[in-house]
Chain A
Amino acid sequence: MRIARITSIICALAIALTVGAGIVARADAPSASATELKDASSKAPATTTLAAGDPGGSLTGTISDVPVGDAKTGLTLGDVANQVGQNKVGINFTWTLLCGFLVMFMQAGFAMVESGLCRVKNANHTYMMNFFVYGCGLFAYWIVGFAIQMGGAAGNGNLGGLQPLIGEHMWNLFGTNWGIFGQSGMFLAGHTYDVGVMVIFLFQMVFMDTALTIVTGACAERWKFLTFSVSSVLMGAFTYPLFANWAWGGGWLAQLGVNAGLGKGYADFAGSGVVHSVGGVTALAVALIIGPRIGKFNRDGSANAIIGHDISAVLIGCFILAFGWFGFNPGSTLGASAAGCLRIGSVAVNTMLAGCTGTFGALLYMWSLKGKPDASMSANGLLAGLVAITAPSGFVNPISSAIIGLIAGVLVCLSVSFVENTLKVDDPVGAISVHGACGLWGVLSVGLFADGTSNYGGAWNGVSGSVTGLFYGDASQLVAQLVGISTLVGFVFGFSYALNWVLDIFIGHRVSAETEVAGLDLPEMGQLGYPEFVFAQESEVMTAAPRVVLA
């Protein structure tokens, strides 16, 4: 007892001495630097000098521009340090917001690609789905989705800490706490009315909307606008945010490293899984429920090609998407001035390369095996490469990026054929293959190709070290990625299927056969996309509704 008391007194003395030394050191520092600061202030260009103009830019941005906390004491080291901190966060805010704006512009690309691949009689309807999905998703995400996804994601130093986002709901299973959903931030009200929270909201919101717009492509030309609207709102409110919380909001997938010793937990840098696979598997779920378009399949099960109306829109839309992807992937560092953030250059180059090799993969596959460098599949190849590199872009080197993109370019061709000819699922734009299949490939590729050189603050998902895949020595990371893939295929698909099945019972996903044959523009939207066009007559199989429907 006495020994313990003596020990505690010694410890207390040691702490007091340490703190005291710190205080003395801190007290000394400003006095030592005060002279230097005063000296630098005196050397700053005078107002009269600046009034003459600064064409070379060497006089603008000096010590005079650092705000002073207290006019009486003048500029202190504390003022300078505060300005440095604010500069860091300011750079990161600017970077993240600008990248978010780029991602938002991808909606235009999606609209052009999807509409271009549809028939002219459905152009207005397809454009409108891509337009309105933005509003549906944004509103749903604002009222509840963001809170579910990021409501427990406090702790990001790049954006000032995001401390108001403390509220991850945990379940204790097998003696371990697992994050299930966030709870702070509904309506961005109360303590989440915060500058950092606004930045992360905008950035995450545009990602969510990308996932939602994937579904509209797979269900185009037969999806009732009402059911599309309700389904999109519910996806933005619940389906997407739930998985995004598990992967990015501090949920159980992110905790696989800390809680289960699987690598650095599920790693998805910019969303091959969170964004594209969630959109892709949901697209498959709805496409299974809604069924193929009239005339897509013949009685013997063979498929008819239903050609889109505007290949120029498709290709220009793809370039808009590729441009927006520079916001998607490099923006996912959530900063340009913090540990590891200078990797934005390699993230951007990886993105570029994978898109390039994805195009090559699809184009060469189609040209070699089908005889023509098919434009729509080449476009899908570019997107496939970009989708696949989205998850690994922050963890792999350029050579791996090129390989990942090339494989995705071939995979998308094989997957489109499999979905159409084996599953007999009608996907007018290839969304299930581009985003679903290649998204899952991207998630898997992190577990294979991550080279262990990335360093985002010395840890990922709370586990020290860099994300390292199987080819660089960590097989456990591959297991974490496979758990994520299984969750996407098992849970996210199942949840989406059940939700949309209920909507099918109450509302019905599909427009009437009569509307479908006429084209959705007039019956659903009240206006043709191209009112002055003379429509070409479609073949009998496309216009004659099957006997069983009209009998």
Chain B
Amino acid sequence: MAATKAQGRAFTLFMVGLTGATAGIALFSSGIGKMALAVGLIAFAISFVSFLKMKPLEGRVALGAQPAVMKLIGLASALLGWVVVLIGLHLSASVSGRMVTTLLGFAISLVGVLVILPIASNKNAIWKA
């Protein structure tokens, strides 16, 4: 299955939900704002339920399963590196000290982005079969 009417309706609902929710946040101090936020969030949630229901109907994809744990580790490594950079700014006041902590954090992020996640992505790659 490719693009369908159901997809079009679900996307419309998604847009309505997002617009309603943001309008609700913009006008949150008023009663109508709170109502718009609630309606928007409900429409948003329904759109995602619709997406989920449609997914199995769309046929098999040429993609092997990517191990979730390894993906989580890669993602955590990317974010951890950034946190190290932020903490490093407060650990040292010198330019050289901050340079070292920044490069260390950057290296940790790179391990996640360029090593762990590509391995996870290609672990069960279809082209290996």
A pairs with B: yes
CB atoms of B11 and A226 under 8 A apart: yes
Digitize B54-85: 1 where CB-to-A-CB distance is under 8 Å, 0 elsewhere.
11001111111010000100010011111101
Which of the residues B90, B95, B112, B127 comes within 8 Å of A297, measured between beta carbons?
A: B127
Known contacts: A510-B62, A524-B2, A549-B61. The answer to whether A489 contacts B78 by CB under 8 A is yes
Which of the residues B2, B85, B98, B122 comes within 8 Å of A511, measured between beta carbons?
A: B2
CA distance A140 to B21 in the complex (A): 12
Which of the residues B15, B19, B103 comes within 8 Å of A482, measured between beta carbons?
A: B103
Digitize A498-525: 1 where CB-to-B-CB distance is under 8 Å, 0 elsewhere.
1001000011101111111000100111
Question: Which residues from A are CB-within-8-Å of B93?
Answer: 261
Question: Which residues from B are CB-within-8-Å of A225?
Answer: 3
**Cβ of A284 < 8 Å from any Cβ of B?**
yes
CB atoms of A512 and B113 under 8 A apart: no
CA distance A546 to B62 in the complex (A): 7
CA distance A92 to B9 in the complex (A): 43
**Cβ of A353 < 8 Å from any Cβ of B?**
no
Interface bin, chain B: 35 or more
Question: Which residues from A are CB-within-8-Å of B85?
Answer: 483, 486-487, 490
CA distance A237 to B14 in the complex (A): 13
**Nearest residue in A to B61 (C-beta to C-beta)?**
A510
Interface bin, chain A: 35 or more
Digitize B95-111: 1 where CB-to-A-CB distance is under 8 Å, 0 elsewhere.
11011001101100110
CB atoms of B58 and A523 under 8 A apart: no
CB atoms of B3 and A512 under 8 A apart: no
**Cβ of A340 < 8 Å from any Cβ of B?**
no
CB atoms of A483 and B61 under 8 A apart: no
Chain A 217-251 interface residues, beta-carbon cutoff 8 Å to B: 222, 224-226, 229-230, 233, 237
**Cβ of B18 < 8 Å from any Cβ of A?**
yes
Digitize A175-186: 1 where CB-to-B-CB distance is under 8 Å, 0 elsewhere.
000000000001
CA distance A493 to B118 in the complex (A): 13
Which of the residues A237, A290, A299, A497 comes within 8 Å of B117, measured between beta carbons?
A: A497
CB atoms of B82 and A490 under 8 A apart: yes
**Nearest residue in A to B126 (C-beta to C-beta)?**
A546
**Cβ of A425 < 8 Å from any Cβ of B?**
yes
Report which residue of A262, A507, A546 has the largest number of chain B beta carbons within 10 angstroms of its beta carbon: A507
CA distance A340 to B62 in the complex (A): 54
CB atoms of B3 and A523 under 8 A apart: yes
Which of the residues A189, A506, A524 comes within 8 Å of B55, measured between beta carbons?
A: A506
Question: Which residues from A are CB-within-8-Å of B89?
Answer: 256, 260, 483
User: Which residues from chain A sit less than 8 Å from chain B, CB to CB?
Assistant: 139-140, 143-144, 147, 174, 186-187, 189, 222, 224-226, 229-230, 233, 237, 256, 260-262, 281, 284, 288-292, 294, 296-299, 301, 423-425, 475-476, 478-479, 482-483, 485-487, 489-491, 493-494, 497-498, 501, 506-508, 510-516, 520, 523-526, 545-550
